[in-house]
Structure 1
Amino acid sequence: MSRTAPSRRGLLFGTAAVSAGALLTACTSNEPKQQEQPAAGNTPAAEDKPGKPVTIGFAGPQADHGWLNAINQNARSRAATYSDVTLEITEGSNDTAAQIGQVQTLINKKVDVLVILPADGKALTQVGLQAMRAGIPVVNLDRVFASPQAYRCWIGGDNYGMGLNAGTYIGEQLKDKPNAKVVELAGLDNLELTRQRTQGFDDALKNYPNITKVARQAADFTVESGQAKMAQLLQAQPAFDALWNHDDDQGVGALRAIAQAGRDDFLMVGGAGAKSAMDAIKAGTGVLKATVLYPPTMAASAIDLARALGQGKGVGGLAELEIPSSLTLYSAVVTKENVDDYLPTGFN
């Protein structure tokens, strides 16, 4: 479930694309006869007419988490909107050796472009270099390779910004409350992304001297861990004013623990952008008041970038002839006021 951003922060770039259906190992030729659901949100511009045929190899992770499953769905859905794109999809794997083998198979098939969300960025750096040296440009999705020579373009989320925006939202809600207390339900502490999210959150709270973070508990990005760790937090902290939970999947368990404890005396902010979280925010009847996005639509944008690379084009809206080398997505805060705008991007 590791999702890390590189130290280079590119321009903000976003798109929205969501499709229903499971991801299968397949070679998908996107002809009009397919009954693929169109991508929601920002679809390709009508004037972007079909061009040179491009075969894109996509190597993603095992879909054992809502966000990761949404990554795979977004890639497939976006490719289906292009009649000039054929998508070669590998079976998702969290085993680095298996994923290296899958990428090498795509290289041997001589795909035009590769989109890779590595199970481990450092471990897959060499196969990224192998592809680039073979003349196959690589779009590195979210978990960054150890060398910039291993990819032509990186696109991913902003973990520090995610924490910063969560902390700022909570700070604004509590800025007039004396001696306010907040708690944090983090992800896995051995992941750099977790440390970045916590750092951003802590930095935001420095702007609100009336607020103190009184507790922090690390969970495992699962429903079960979220419930168990949240129960521990609730028992240890009989009173606080706000909770930031790093991940909406573990947030499902956290909300169960909160309901079981009969607690409704604080506000909660989630993370990532699950549909269940957005539904709860829209209903407005519980403690969950906002979620900070870590958009899985980045996979749809990666397909757009791969197609542009394969056709030798730049990005629409930019003057440059080439696509940028790094694109960082913005972590928007979804509240009851804007939730309808983001619901189409919510993932299960």
Structure 2
Amino acid sequence: MTEQSLHRRRFLLGGAAVGAGALLTACTSNEAPAQNNAANVANAGANSQPGTPVTIGFSAPAADHGWMAAITKNARAQAQKFSEVTLNATEGTNDVNQQISQVETLINAKVNVLVILPFDGKALTAVGQQAMDAGIQVINLDRVFDTPLAYRTWIGGDNYRMGVNAGNYIAQQMKAKNIASPVIGEVAGIDSLPLTQERSKGFKDALTRQGFTVGPRVAAEFTPESGEKQTSNLLQSASKLDALWNHDDDQGVGVIAAINNANRKNFLMVGGAGSKNAMNLIKSDAEPLKATVLYSPSMASSAISLARLLGQGKGAGDFAEHEIPAEITTYSAVVTKENVDKYMDVGFDS
């Protein structure tokens, strides 16, 4: 989960839960553009139809984390939906030099488009730029390269808004329960990472705006083991707790285990990322977990759809612009018992 985070992601889409089936209905719509809307590009109706054959190279870190495993799984599944797409995927690795070598192999194979989720954005920047210089368009997925010269389009999640939406949901619930001065805890990810810092900042900013503050806080390591250990420490130090935000549903398996071991269920909990396990718990309404804030690996499906369109020289069908945007930030929707069925299709195994 290490990454260099993009500071300005100006292009927001309306749902992180873009399913494994498509980038947007916009990209694959079968409906013809309205006759009286000259701004609509003419390729809208053709995008879902098979087009020019496209070979897409794909490179990502090792699938040693539920979210990361879902990234590769979603990419492969999406590529299979298009008869004209050939996916040339490398074996996932957390060795920076090996990933660079794998991408260079894809460049030498002259794939049409590259989709790269770098283990380390800074370290993979040069090879991304090498691909662009060779005329191969690059979709930079989530962990951003150091310069836009290394990619044609960036698509990824919004860490700051994850925190904001988690904070807003908790604040609303506290006000609904008439809790004037709630004790709100936080189980963060690895504190040295920009993504963790952004999530925590968004959480703090949202609570501050609502007149609340962040209480006891610990940092885990995006693993169930670290989540259980750090949550146990937090619960021991906080005799009273009204709400808790856990940044990551994979480490959330351990967080919930610690809560159950301590028999502490008299508070509400919000998760992060959107695992299938978390969604099932939310749906059952039997645990403190009442919501999770999406950071969906379905972005990999969208990246493959984008790569296909770029390889075929198409734009996003319902957009007036003729070209695929340079930046796409998915939205961190809040999944609750009321809407969980809508988002189950993008839940991943934790």
TM-score by length of 1: 0.91
Q: Is 1:262 matched up with 2:299?
A: no
Displacement, 1:9?
1.4
Contact 2:276–2:347 (CA under 8 A) maintained in structure 1: yes
AA matched with 1:108: N
Displacement, 1:55?
0.3
Displacement, 1:165?
0.2
Displacement, 1:54?
0.3
Contact 1:268–1:287 (CA under 8 A) maintained in structure 2: yes
Q: Is 1:77 matched up with 2:72?
A: no
Matches within 5 A, 1:295-310: 295-310=296-311
AA matched with 2:346: T
1:156 aligned partner: 156
1:143 aligned partner: 143
2:182 aligned partner: 180
Q: CA deviation digits over 1:66-122, x for unaligned, max 9? A: 000010011001100000100000000111000000000000000000000000000
Displacement, 1:214?
1.8
Report SS of the residue matched to 2:214. Answer: strand
Report SS of the residue matched to 1:270. Answer: strand
Contact 1:164–1:204 (CA under 8 A) maintained in structure 2: yes
Q: Is 1:12 matched up with 2:15?
A: no
What is the CA–CA distance in structure 2 between the aligned matches of 1:17 and 1:169, rounded to whole Å?
A: 23
2:203 aligned partner: 201
What is the CA–CA distance in structure 1 between the aligned matches of 2:165 and 2:159, rounded to whole Å?
A: 10
Unaligned runs of 5+ in 2: 31-44
Residues 3 and 122 (structure 1 numbering): CA distance in 2 closer, same or farther, change over 3 Å? closer
What is the CA–CA distance in structure 2 between the aligned matches of 1:273 and 1:286, rounded to whole Å?
A: 16
Unaligned runs of 5+ in 1: 19-37
What is the CA–CA distance in structure 2 between the aligned matches of 1:61 and 1:227, rounded to whole Å?
A: 25
Identity over aligned pairs, percent: 58
1:278 aligned partner: 279
AA matched with 1:283: S
Displacement, 1:45?
3.9
Q: What RMSD over aligned residues (CA atoms) do the two structures have, in Å?
A: 1.6
Please identify, of 111-120 and 312-321, the stretch whose mean Cα deviation from structure 2 is larger: 312-321
Matches within 5 A, 1:19-38: none
Report SS of the residue matched to 2:286. Answer: coil
Contact 1:17–1:78 (CA under 8 A) maintained in structure 2: no
What is the CA–CA distance in structure 2 between the aligned matches of 1:207 and 1:171, rounded to whole Å?
A: 9
AA matched with 2:297: P
TM-score by length of 2: 0.91
What is the CA–CA distance in structure 2 between the aligned matches of 1:8 and 1:40, rounded to whole Å?
A: 21
What is the CA–CA distance in structure 2 between the aligned matches of 1:146 and 1:41, rounded to whole Å?
A: 27
What is the CA–CA distance in structure 1 between the aligned matches of 2:277 and 2:194, rounded to whole Å?
A: 26
- The structure whose RCO (Cα within 8 Å, separation 6+) is larger is 2
What is the CA–CA distance in structure 2 between the aligned matches of 1:296 and 1:186, rounded to whole Å?
A: 19
What is the CA–CA distance in structure 2 between the aligned matches of 1:303 and 1:179, rounded to whole Å?
A: 46
Displacement, 1:207?
1.9
Q: Is 1:116 matched up with 2:131?
A: no
Report SS of the residue matched to 1:220. Answer: coil
Aligned residues: 328
Displacement, 1:288?
0.2
Contact 1:4–1:157 (CA under 8 A) maintained in structure 2: no
